[in-house]
């Protein structure tokens, strides 16, 4: 029966050459050459069977891609470029080496699209369900990282795409908005940015909380994805509700005092710290119903 | 009921100031200032309930410490200093925020002992068992990283401590040999090094495979831990068997052409690629029985 060692041997054979990587996966740690005076950004995101994917429905290649793309989307949210990634995988016992290879290829495909090699990790098998955790390193490369804490009163509030209903499939197949983020950040003074992972309302609340401001959203301006309309027919909730509160769109939500070259204006930052929704001429509180794990 | 957001708010309140950390956990990614011309080492290790710990027996503080210490031990194996860590945790639903805080404090305690702050991560809860995954960043800081691939014929083979029987408790409480590694690497030309996580025989095989050499171990020289003797009474296997093949000692195994200031000489590197054990004057093949996951 193939073992972890066989899998690691195979991974070593798959490693690509990168100018930053002095020693790739295969030792206790990988060794990178980091550019002089370059900021180093780091973060991590995991995907869990039954929460972020369904192993009875999604292929390991899709699962690997999603795990990597969630992290690449965090790079987009800071307007940085990914530099390298590390992954740990807890494999259900008996999943098999082909399954493990497909997971790896999913990670590699998604990372490869943004020149982000996988430089290490850890594999174990257990009698639990699949867990895939990815840690990412990013580099600023000439653009100051954009945080969540710079939104200013009267800034416009923008999103890079239509929202809602990602659970119908887009949550597995989204494209991280790295290119868009870099173009935006080079063109206009973006004051705060986040990728929408837990829902527009909840992620907007994070920007507002950290920037110590509030926001008003114009309901009629929120771009609603066709999936939100399709899901509305099943859920009985309105397409707008789905666009405001569904998670895993992975579009960028950002604030900017000037007109950006891309993005839909959906509202404005306010000095008053409340979150409001203007709908049919009436102003109401915007609830933050997005994803939050009870512990 | 407390949620992931409450936990993240609490984590933010726990963050310590570090000269390298420009922006700590709380945004999409953390931002570090990396020293000029400094090598960056990266790796990851996870701990799984039922494999690396037993949640019915070990406290979350102990589990957090082990997860961090496994990664710190990888730093020791490269003779680098830890710089920062990131963690992802898959929490069993209903574990509670106090449990999550204890996990974090275990990570922080262990990292704190080596000036290694936790700068980010991801928390989710699910109906699976506990998984804690840690990624570590290390810096060379004046010592060239020691890989597994430099062992030379006639080098002495050394270990930093007694081996075997760690499952009786030491696998949760070991101290990463970072200080020892730094002293060794500054004193003598260490040619290859690894931390013993999967057993002396298997980890020695890794050094030999990557260095394209073999090794002969003197059975009478292998330092046997009292735990190996205690375990031998239960297992019916000899204390030497436990010392050779048990995992999670996390002592360092290294090769060196000169006499190091610390470490026990247990054998020698050979040009012939086989692994041999000399016992009672007889030479036999050394089997590599250590830990390897069937996939």
Looking at residue A36, its pLDDT comes to: 82
Chain A environment of B7 (Cβ under 8 Å): 295
Q: Please name which of A28, A123, A269, A216 lies closest in space to residue B77, comparing C-alpha atoms.
A: A28
CB atoms A88 and B138 under 8 Å: no
β-pair partners for B134: B45, B87
Q: What are the tens digits of pLDDT across the range B158-172?
A: 999 999 999 999 999
CB atoms A34 and B38 under 8 Å: yes
CB atoms B194 and A42 under 8 Å: no
Sorted by sequence, the CB contacts under 8 Å of residue B277 that are 6+ apart come out as B216, B217, B219, B244, B283, B284, B285, B286
What integer is the mean pLDDT of B253-282?
97
Chain B nearest C-alpha distance from A258 (Å): 23
Give the nearest chain B residue to A193 (CA atoms). Answer: B28
Looking at residue A295, its pLDDT comes to: 73
Q: pTM of the predicted model, to two decimals?
A: 0.95
Mutate to test the interface with B, among A42, A207, A251 (most CBs of B within 10 A): A42
Transcribe A31-86 into DSSP letters. Answer: EEEPPTT-EEEEEEEEEEBTTTB-TTTS-HHHHHHHHHHHHHHHHHHHTPEEEEEE
Rounded-to-integer distance, Cα A23 and Cα B149, Å: 11
Give the pLDDT band (50/70/90) at residue B240: very high
CB atoms B29 and A135 under 8 Å: no
Chain A environment of B87 (Cβ under 8 Å): 44
Looking at residue B20, its pLDDT comes to: 78
Chain B environment of A88 (Cβ under 8 Å): 44-46, 133, 135
Q: Would you state the structure tokens that stand for residue B127, as one six-digit string?
A: 């109906």
Half-sphere exposure of A4 (CA within 13 A, CB side): 19
B293 pLDDT above the threshold of 80: no
Average pLDDT per 10 consecutive residues for chain A, totaling 295 residues: 83 78 88 88 97 97 98 98 96 94 96 95 95 97 96 98 97 98 98 97 96 98 98 96 96 98 98 96 90 73
Give the ipTM. Answer: 0.94
Chain A environment of B293 (Cβ under 8 Å): 3-4, 91, 123-125
**How would you class A44 by CB atoms within 10 Å of its CB: exposed for 0-12, middle for 13-18, buried for 19 or more?**
buried
Q: What are the tens digits of pLDDT across the range B20-57?
A: 788 888 889 999 988 888 899 999 999 999 999 999 99
Q: Please name which of B129, B148, B137 lies closest in space to residue B212, comparing C-alpha atoms.
A: B148
Give the nearest chain B residue to A7 (CA atoms). Answer: B295
What integer is the mean pLDDT of B113-130?
95
CB atoms A34 and B39 under 8 Å: yes
Looking at residue A2, its pLDDT comes to: 81
What integer is the mean pLDDT of B176-188?
98
Chain A nearest C-alpha distance from B281 (Å): 32
B125 pLDDT above the threshold of 80: yes
B97 pLDDT above the threshold of 80: yes
Looking at residue B2, its pLDDT comes to: 80
Chain B nearest C-alpha distance from A240 (Å): 24
Mean pLDDT (chain B) is 94
CB atoms A97 and B4 under 8 Å: no
Chain A environment of B74 (Cβ under 8 Å): 28-29
B267 pLDDT above the threshold of 80: yes
Transcribe chain B into DSSP letters. Answer: --BHHHHHHHHHHHPPP-TTEEE-BTBSSEEEEPPTT-EEEEEEEEEEBTTTB-TTTS-HHHHHHHHHHHHHHHHHHHTPEEEEEEEEEEEETT--HHHHHHHHHHHHHHHHTTT--EEEEEEEEESS--EEEEEEEEE-TTSPPP-SS---TT-EEEESS-BS-GGGTHHHH----HHHHHHHHHHS---EEEE-SS-HHHHHHHHHHHHT-EEEEEGGGSPBPHHHHHHHHHHSS-HHHHHHH------EEEEESS--SS-EEEEEEESS--EEEEETTEEEE----S---B-
Looking at residue B8, its pLDDT comes to: 83
């Amino acid at each position: 029966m193939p073992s972890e060692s066989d899998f690691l041997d195979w991974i070593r054979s798959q490693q690509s050459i990168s100018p930053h990587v002095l020693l790739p996966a295969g030792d206790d740690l990988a060794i990178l050459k980091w550019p002089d005076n370059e900021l180093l950004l780091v973060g991590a995101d995991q995907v869990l069977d039954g929460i972020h994917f369904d192993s009875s429905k999604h292929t390991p290649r899709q699962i690997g891609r999603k795990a990597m793309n969630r992290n690449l989307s965090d790079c987009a949210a800071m307007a940085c470029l990914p530099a390298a990634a590390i992954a740990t995988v807890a494999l259900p016992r008996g999943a098999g080496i082909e399954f493990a290879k497909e997971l790896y290829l999913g990670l590699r495909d998604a990372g490869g699209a943004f020149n982000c090699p996988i430089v290490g990790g850890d594999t174990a098998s257990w009698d639990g369900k699949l867990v895939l955790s990815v840690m990412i390193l990013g580099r600023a490369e000439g653009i100051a990282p954009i945080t969540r804490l710079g939104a200013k009163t009267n800034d416009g509030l923008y999103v890079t795409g239509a929202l809602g209903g990602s659970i119908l499939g887009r949550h597995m197949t989204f494209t991280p908005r790295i290119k868009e983020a870099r173009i935006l950040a080079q063109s206009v003074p973006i004051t705060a940015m986040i990728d929408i992972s837990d829902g527009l309302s909840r992620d907007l609340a994070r920007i507002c909380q950290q920037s110590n401001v509030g926001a008003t959203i114009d309901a009629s301006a929120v771009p609603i994805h066709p999936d939100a309309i399709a899901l509305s027919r099943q859920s009985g909730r309105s397409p707008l509700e789905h666009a405001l509160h569904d998670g895993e769109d992975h579009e960028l939500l950002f604030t900017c005092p000037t007109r950006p070259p891309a993005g839909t204006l959906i509202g404005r930052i306010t000095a008053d710290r409340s979150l409001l929704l203007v709908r049919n001429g009436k102003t109401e509180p915007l609830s933050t119903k997005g994803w939050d794990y009870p512990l």
